Structure 1
Amino acid sequence: MKIALWQTATPTGDDPDLTTLEADAVERALDAVAVRAREAAEAGAVLLIAPELALSGYNIGDAARRLAEPADGPAAERLSAVAAETGVAILIGAPERGSDGAVYNAALFTDPSGARAVYRKAHLYGPEEKRLFAPGTARPPILSVRGLKVAPLICYDVEFPEMVRAAADAGADLIAVPTALMRPMDIVAETLVVARAYESGVFVAYVNRCGREAALTYVGKSCLIAPDGSELARAGADEEALLIADVDPGGYEAYRREAPYLADLRRDLYPPPAPVASRAAD
């Protein structure tokens, strides 16, 4: 089946003062999602994946908290309507305000049937993310998209092999990663993501931003990597792109037999992962 990876620039553009971040930033981002979902549907895709915090902007400071909505708020309602209209499931990054009052760096999911889910980023990157967001404490859900089992992670999460391996153990066919990778960390998009797919025998869709946002320049280079490490689609560094690529979970069984990392892992040699640290420990 086909999936769509949407590499896009930030809503704020190259504005060091963020003066273009208007009150209707989320609504404008949702309008863009609707356009891309229609394009994805026309290309035959069943899932559209967008970058980290695509509904708000990533490097926008306290505005991320001001723009946060509940997982069942107006933005989620609009996403559900777009999914129902186009027949395309959507996974997109957004700031989410939890029922506990905390704000999370989240990935919102909805499908044409109205099913919804949310995943909260577990591994917060750098002091600014840790200042703005609470860490997620739950493993990613396994989402079904026309029978394709999809596990969402967010950016820095995929840089920990344990996260991908746990999702593969849970039965995921595809690890979907909304991200906001900035320069000079190109190695993550070029090498590390390939290793994650190869070592766990899963597809990895790594969907990044491009362009500039205040002091950050994003790497771009969104990609879909197959379980054998081959590159099925790759965007350039600087341009917006809607990549359409095929995912065939049953097409790599020969590779998995030749490189049975998950089956051969000596799990008795490794202790269970430690619990996620609380914000008080940051």
Structure 2
Amino acid sequence: MTTLHAGLEKLLASNGHGKQAGAVWLVGAGPGDVDLLTVKALRLIEQAEVVVCDRLVSPEILALIPASALSIDVGKTPGFHGMKQSQINQLLVELAAAGQQVIRLKGGDPFIFGRGGEEMTAVQEAGLVCHIVPGITAATGCAAATGIPLTHRDLAQSVRFITGHGKDGKPQLDWESLKDARQTLVFYMGLTWCGALSEQLIAFGRDAETPVAIVERGTRADQRVTLTTLHQLAETVLREKPQSPALLIVGEVVRLYRKKELTECASLRLQTV
């Protein structure tokens, strides 16, 4: 039996000694930069006894978990789910029912493409308490880290956060509603289906020359930004081979990206810390 399994079985068995039911805390870890954690999230992580964490939580944030805490990795990678969502839901319920204050640590914000709603519902339906601690979602984190504003008085009067990966794979979207050039589109999990995304957007009226930013590992030290256009998106992804986690920002606001200025600002910030 592994140390993890032994620790888990001990926790689950502890409810048999009359321990009161615990609770689940869905905590948003943000897009990766440890400095972007909320104060509340940081406090909960540093005091944690049981943490159930996702793949998208950065190593720097995972390092904040106390060595004494039981840390359970339930992260999913594209095409491989080590633990199904239903099993994760059940694990959270069992741990809380055993009297644990469970920190469910999720990349970004739990309620924006993080399945936080599903986990909250499962916990509540079991008669247990579920607290929500919001985090900075990837779209706003990457926008800040790249200097690409998601809205702009002259260029974009609205912004849409969209999943680029449907429940059964290929995205099924209302393409007609996405054609407005004054609307910024941010696609989460869009790399796999980038060809279909670009084809449909162009077919329904988006200019083929609309700029696109591919932001890999946004806000982290190894962040990479690749610029392209809608009609060159699939070719660019094939050539540059961006890796998940990556975000696609589509719209005229991408033209405001200035790599040199951002590099200079980052250097200045590091020198003055």
TM-score by length of 2: 0.33
Higher Cα radius of gyration: 2
More helix, by proportion: 2
More strand, by proportion: 1
TM-score by length of 1: 0.32
